[in-house]
Amino acid sequence: MTRIWIRGGRVIDPANDRDEVCDVLLEDGRVAAVGPALSVDDAEVVDATGRWVCPGFVDLHTHLREPGQEYKEDIATGGRAAVAGGFTAVACMANTQPVNDDPATTDFILDRARSDSPAKVYPVAAATKGLKGEVMTEMSALVEAGAVAFSDDGKTIMDGGVMRHVLEYSRLVTAPIITHAEDRTLVAGGVMNEGAMSTRLGLPGNPAIAEDVHVARDLMLAEFTEAHLHVAHVSTQGAVDLIRTARDRGVHVTAEAAPHHLTLTDEAVREFDTHAKVAPPLRSAADRDACRAGLADGTLDAIATDHAPHAQHEKELDFVEAPPGMIGFETAVAVTLDLVRDRTLSPVEWVRRLTANPAQILNRPGGSLGVGGPGDVTILDPEQRWSYDPAKGYSKSRNSPWSGHELTGRVLFTLVDGKLVFDVERGVLV
Ligand code: DOR
Ligand code: ZN
């Protein structure tokens, strides 16, 4: 029997209404007990004094690039970067090569995850064949193979009739449809937020209205079909407001925000820095603040990294040509603790948006330290300062706007199914 006794930490477990200094005992891969001053024989002890002990973080939006683009990332390196960032489970998007639009590809991803990844991997299957937005995938076969949600992420489903049918079918398999909401005709080739900065830089702008219009359409279709719509990487004030009023009307909608949209603005593009190029783009300060407020009032349920690795030679292209995306696993905790430091979120609400809420959106176990549940735990020091160097990280790619920055807040230990898989002193252990 393997036992791990996590002693004396501040246990923050929103699913069980717990925020107190106590011990956690993991036994045979599961949470065996949580309480003050447990007395345990014969256990490996992790001293958590002065640290936060949380359920393992769940990232519902990531790109692991395997199969097909292993020069950017693969399931082994992505899974290692995930646990180094405190994520014990990650959902991976379908825009691989080939696209994850059939059960064989879903099977392959799960096989690879079992053999290569210290983090649990939940495949998100494509909603339409080849992400073309035309023909639906076979949702029930994909769910049987292990898909947990459907998304054409990276692309937008422009055809309203197709989106309607995708939403209708998703009800039969009880899996959410994750929308990448950018109306392509309004994006119209824009590569950064449309505004004063895009004018100054002479770059084509992608207006906030491209996101607002598409979110409005998808919310109406979700209301009409009574399906579960999940809005990925919300970046605009308009989208936050639309989601809030739809939720109030009873629409089954959930939503996420990415660390970069919560903390950065289009100012970051000033020097034509392609590391600040993402889709949807970094927006205005008003949009960023609306996303923070939306996260605080629960309109946005989850923090999700949208970890999107790209190779150096791709990010060295000029701004228009470079692919959008940034890596995010290893910086997410420090970057988003900013919202706790400025009191936008309490520690409990911050943890909830990284644990119970994303687990619930994906209908997965975990995200909780309930007795009997999976022994997935993240232990962090919210005050520790460190310097981030992606070259010393676990991702194959280095495309981060926080490269070389001093960050505050660090993951110290990550446990998956009761096994220590990351220790900041020793690195990833598997
Ligand atoms: O910035 C992004 N990168 N947004 C997306 O939707 C796709 C992603 C990627 O796959 O690189
Ligand atoms: Zn996306």
Summarised one tens digit per residue, pLDDT across range 353-396 is 999 999 999 999 999 999 999 999 999 999 999 999 999 999 99
The pLDDT mean for the chain works out to: 98
- Closest Cα to atom 6, ligand 1: which residue? 154
Gap between the Cα atoms of 400 and 402, Å rounded = 5
CA of 237 to the centre of ligand 1 (A): 20
Q: Kindly give the residue spans of alpha helices, DSSP state H, lying in 230-279.
A: 237-249, 259-263
CB contact at 8 A, 237 and 286? yes
Q: Which one, of 56, 2, 9, lies nearest residue 34 by Cα?
A: 9
> CA 319, 324, 329: angle at the middle one, nearest 5?
130
pLDDT at residue 162, as a whole number = 98
State if residue 76 touches ligand 1 by the CB under 6 angstroms criterion. Answer: no
Active-site positions read 306
Containing 341, the helix (H) or strand (E) segment is helix 338-341
The structure tokens 């477990």 sit at 13
Ligand 1 atom nearest residue 326's Cα: 1
Q: What is the pLDDT of residue 273?
A: 97
Question: What is the structure's pLDDT at 2?
Answer: 87
Number of helices (H), then strands (E), in the chain: 15, 19
Ligand 1, residues 66, 214, 306: which to mutate, most atoms within 8 A of Cβ?
Answer: 306
Q: What is the pLDDT of residue 73?
A: 98
pLDDT of residue 1: 66
Tokens of 170: 């998703």
Q: How large is the greatest C-alpha to C-alpha distance in the chain, in angstroms?
A: 67
What is the value of pTM for the model shown? 0.98
Least confident stretch, 32-41, 107-116, 229-238: 32-41
The verdict on the CB of residue 64 being under 6 Å from ligand 1 is no
Strand 120-125 versus strand 87-92 pairing type: parallel
The residue type found at 73 is E
**Strand, helix or coil for residue 291:** helix
For residue 232 and ligand 1, the question of a CB distance below 6 A is answered with no
CA distances to 168, 298, 307 from 227, rounded to whole Å, are 6, 20, 27
The answer to whether the beta carbons of residues 142 and 102 sit under 8 Å apart is yes
Residue 283: predicted pLDDT: 98
Residue 393 and residue 140: Cα distance in Å, rounded?
38
Q: How far apart are CA 219 and CA 231, in angstroms?
A: 9
Using one digit for the tens of pLDDT, what is the confidence trace for 271-312?
A: 999 999 999 999 999 999 999 999 999 999 999 999 999 999
Q: What are phi and psi of 101, to 5 degrees?
A: -120, 10
What stretches of 265-331 adopt beta strand conformation (E)? Answer: 302-303
Average pLDDT, stretch 405-409? 98
The contacts of residue 336 (CB under 8 Å, 6+ apart) are: 259, 262, 263, 303, 350, 354
Instruction: Please give the Cα distance from 181 to 231 (Å, whole number).
Output: 7
Q: What is the mean pLDDT of residues 39-64?
A: 97
pLDDT at 91: 99
308 pocket-lining for ligand 1 (C-beta < 6 Å): yes
For ligand 1, say whether the CB of 242 is within 6 Å of any of its atoms: no
CA of 39 from ligand 2 middle (Å) equals 47
Query: In the chain, pLDDT over 90 holds for what percent of residues?
Result: 99
Nearest to residue 309, comparing CAs of 51, 80, 100? 80
